[in-house]
Chain A
C-alpha cells in the first residue's frame, strides 16, 4: 500500500469531529467534542492555541476565512451543537513572523485568540460552517433543516443574515462553497444535495441532486477544474462515494443584470451523476476531500478505512491507496488534503520551493481525525 503515516498528534479529547487546514498558513484547526477547538502548527505539529470557554456543547465543524487583506489575518468560524457559530481571530499584535514554529515547547506559550462574535439564530445543533471562496459569505447548516447565509463586516465582528434557506426536509449535515463561484452546496439527512445561488438579491435553490439512498454526510467540490464543468464529490451512509457534474445552467451570470421578474429562464442548474467510485467501505462514509493539487479524492468512515482514489480518465476512478484501521479500531470522522509544510525528506531543505513535477503528489498530505482523539498525518508515496 503506497500510503504511510508520517505523524500522529494525540489531541487528548474524546472525539475529533472535523479538521481544517488554513488555505495559506501552516495552521490546522480541530473541532472536538470537548467544546473547544484546537489550533496546531503544521510545521511542528505542536499546539498553537486552544479556543475554549465560549461554546457550551461540542464543536462539530471549523472553517478558515480565506485571507485576503492582512498577511497575518487568521479568522476561524466554529459550529457547535449549542446552536451557535463562533468567530475567532488571532490577536495579530502578539504573533511573531515565523509563528508557525511557536509551540516548540509543547503547551507553553500558547497564543491568545479572541472570540469576536457569536452568530445566533439556528434553533438547534449547527453541524457545519464554510466560508465562500473570497470570504464574502459564511454558510451554516443545522438539524433545524435550514441553511443560513451570513455576510461579515470588515472586522468580522458584525454579521448580517442574508438568507434562511429551508428547502431540505431533514437535518442539513454539510455545506460547501464552490472554489471560485458563489455557489453553495448542502448535503442532508433527507438523502439529497441541494445547490444554492444568489438571484437578484435573493438566494434560491438552483439545483437538487438525488441519487444517494441514505444520509449524505459530506461534499466537496472539484478544485482542479476552474474552467469547464463544475463537479462535486459526495459520501453517504449508503456506503458509496459519488461524483456529480454540472451538465447545464440557465439564468447564469451573463443575464444577471436583468431582474429575475423580467427573465424567462429561472436560475437553475442540472447536475448528473458522473461516477460511483470503487466501493470499499462497509458502514457510513463520514468524509470526503478532493485535492486541489493532485485531483485525488480521499474518503473515511465508520469502518476505520482510509481510501484514496485517482481519476484514470473522466468519470473513471481507481483506488490507489487503502489503509485499514487508520485510527486503530476507532471510527474516522474527518479527512482533508493539505499542503505539506513539514519536510520529511532529509535531502530536501525547508523552504525549497522548486517542485519536481514527478513528485507533485508528495507535496501534499492527508489529515484524518477520529473517535480516538488522534490527528493522523498521511502521505501517499509514489510507486514506480
Chain B
C-alpha cells in the first residue's frame, strides 16, 4: 500500500472512546432509543452467571430509572444463583456468558486499521452505538439460544476498498472470541459506502469468509490487524 486511500482521516483521541467506566452516562443517554429499537438487546445479561459488574450496566440499559437500578446490585446477586438451577435445559449447551455491546466494542475497537497506525476505534470505523446484540424469543416465549451480534462499520471514505478487509477482520476477531451461539453480522452503515450491498453480501457469505480464512497471504494481513488487540 504505497498510497493511502484516505491520507487524512479524522482521528479520535483515546480518551474520547467509550469505555466500561463511562458506560453509565453514555448508555443511559441513549437507553430509551435503544430500548425501543431492540427490545431484547441486553437480555443476554439476564442469563445466569452474570457478574455484578455486568448486571450493573445491563440494568442501566434496561432500567427506566438508571440510578436506583444501579443501587440494586446487591439484590441481583442472589437471583443469579437460583437462576442457574432454572436453566437446566441450557446448561448442557454452555454456560451463557454475559456479553454486552461494550464488550463487543472492546473486542473490535482495538483492531488496527490496515493502512494507518491507528485502531478502528480511533478512526471511528467502529462506534459503540452501531453495535447491536439481538436475541429473540421462540413461540413459547423462551429465549432462543442463538443471539445475533450486528456491527455496522463506518468506512472513513465512501470509496474505501479496504472496507471488506476491515469487515473481515472484525468478523474473524468476533468468531474467535465469542461462543458459537452468536451469529455475527457485519454491515457497512447505511449511506457510508458506494458499494454497500456488495460489501455486505460478501462479508456475510459464510463460504467466502471460510475460504478467505484459508488464504495465507490474507491471514497474514489479518493477524497484523489483530495484533493490537488485547
Q: Which of B180, B205, B207, B210 interacts with A330 by CB under 8 Å?
A: B180
Q: Are A329 and B94 in contact (CB under 8 A)?
A: yes
| Listed A/B pairs (25) with beta-carbon separation below 8 Å | A33-B210, A57-B211, A57-B214, A58-B211, A81-B210, A81-B211, A125-B207, A127-B207, A143-B208, A143-B211, A173-B207, A214-B201, A237-B205, A282-B136, A283-B183, A303-B146, A324-B138, A325-B93, A328-B145, A329-B179, A329-B180, A330-B180, A331-B183, A331-B206, A371-B180
Q: Which residues of B contact A372 (CB under 8 A)?
A: 180
User: Quick check: is A22 within 8 A (CB to CB) of the other chain?
Assistant: no
Q: Roughly how many angstroms separate A303 CA and B208 CA in the complex, as a whole number?
A: 18
Q: Which residues of A contact B214 (CB under 8 A)?
A: 57-58, 81
Q: Are B210 and A329 in contact (CB under 8 A)?
A: no
B173 to A: closest C-beta gap in Å: 18
Q: Are A171 and B180 in contact (CB under 8 A)?
A: no
Q: Which of A15, A125, A283, A325 interacts with B211 by CB under 8 Å?
A: A125
Q: Which residues of B contact A40 (CB under 8 A)?
A: none
User: Quick check: is B181 within 8 A (CB to CB) of the other chain?
Assistant: yes
Q: Roughly how many angstroms separate A214 CA and B205 CA in the complex, as a whole number?
A: 11
Closest to B147 in A: A329
Q: Which residues of A contact B210 (CB under 8 A)?
A: 15, 33, 58, 81
Q: Which residues of A contact B211 (CB under 8 A)?
A: 57-58, 81, 124-125, 143
Q: Which residues of A contact B145 (CB under 8 A)?
A: 325, 328-329
Q: Roughly how many angstroms separate A124 CA and B212 CA in the complex, as a whole number?
A: 11
Q: Are B207 and A304 in contact (CB under 8 A)?
A: no
Q: Which residues of B contact A237 (CB under 8 A)?
A: 205
Q: Are B206 and A328 in contact (CB under 8 A)?
A: no
Q: Which residues of A contact B181 (CB under 8 A)?
A: 329
Q: Are A171 and B208 in contact (CB under 8 A)?
A: yes
Count A-B contacts at CB 8 Å.
51
A168 to B: closest C-beta gap in Å: 15
Q: Which residues of A contact B206 (CB under 8 A)?
A: 284, 286, 302, 331
B137 to A: closest C-beta gap in Å: 12
User: Quick check: is A309 within 8 A (CB to CB) of the other chain?
Assistant: no
Q: Which residues of A contact B180 (CB under 8 A)?
A: 329-330, 371-372
Main secondary structure of the interface of A (DSSP, over half): loop
User: Quick check: is A231 within 8 A (CB to CB) of the other chain?
Assistant: no
User: Which residues of A approach B to under 8 Å, CB–CB?
Assistant: 15, 33, 57-58, 60, 81, 124-125, 127, 143, 171, 173, 189, 214-215, 237, 282-284, 286, 302-304, 324-325, 328-331, 371-372
B150 to A: closest C-beta gap in Å: 12
Q: Roughly how many angstroms separate A214 CA and B206 CA in the complex, as a whole number?
A: 13
Q: Roughly how many angstroms separate A328 CA and B180 CA in the complex, as a whole number?
A: 10
Closest to A82 in B: B214
A9 to B: closest C-beta gap in Å: 19
B58 to A: closest C-beta gap in Å: 21
Q: Which of B93, B138, B183 interacts with A302 by CB under 8 Å?
A: B183
Q: Roughly how many angstroms separate A127 CA and B207 CA in the complex, as a whole number?
A: 9
Q: Roughly how many angstroms separate A13 CA and B94 CA in the complex, as a whole number?
A: 19
New A-B pairs, 18, CB < 8 Å, besides A284-B206, A302-B183, A328-B145:
A15-B210, A57-B211, A58-B210, A58-B214, A125-B211, A127-B207, A143-B208, A143-B211, A173-B207, A215-B201, A237-B205, A286-B206, A303-B146, A324-B138, A325-B93, A328-B93, A329-B94, A372-B180
B101 to A: closest C-beta gap in Å: 20
Q: Which residues of B contact A304 (CB under 8 A)?
A: 146
Q: Which residues of B contact A324 (CB under 8 A)?
A: 138
A60 to B: closest C-beta gap in Å: 7
Contact with A along B151-182 (1 / 0, CB 8 A): 00000000000000000000000000001110
Given the known A-B contacts A57-B214, A303-B146, A329-B145, are A189 and B205 also in contact in the complex, defined by CB atoms under 8 Å? yes
Q: Roughly how many angstroms separate A124 CA and B211 CA in the complex, as a whole number?
A: 10
Q: Roughly how many angstroms separate A257 CA and B90 CA in the complex, as a whole number?
A: 64
Closest to B93 in A: A328
Q: Which residues of B contact A189 (CB under 8 A)?
A: 201, 205
**Most chain A Cβ neighbours within 10 Å, of B94, B181, B183:** B183
Q: Roughly how many angstroms separate A293 CA and B118 CA in the complex, as a whole number?
A: 59
B187 to A: closest C-beta gap in Å: 14
Q: Roughly how many angstroms separate A3 CA and B201 CA in the complex, as a whole number?
A: 34
Contact with A along B89-120 (1 / 0, CB 8 A): 00001100000000000000000000000000
Q: Which residues of A contact B136 (CB under 8 A)?
A: 282
Q: Roughly how many angstroms separate A57 CA and B201 CA in the complex, as a whole number?
A: 23
Q: Which residues of B contact A325 (CB under 8 A)?
A: 93, 145-146
Q: Which residues of B contact A330 (CB under 8 A)?
A: 180
Q: Are A329 and B146 in contact (CB under 8 A)?
A: yes
Q: Roughly how many angstroms separate A328 CA and B145 CA in the complex, as a whole number?
A: 9
B104 to A: closest C-beta gap in Å: 18
Q: Roughly how many angstroms separate A127 CA and B208 CA in the complex, as a whole number?
A: 10
Closest to A125 in B: B211
Closest to B202 in A: A189
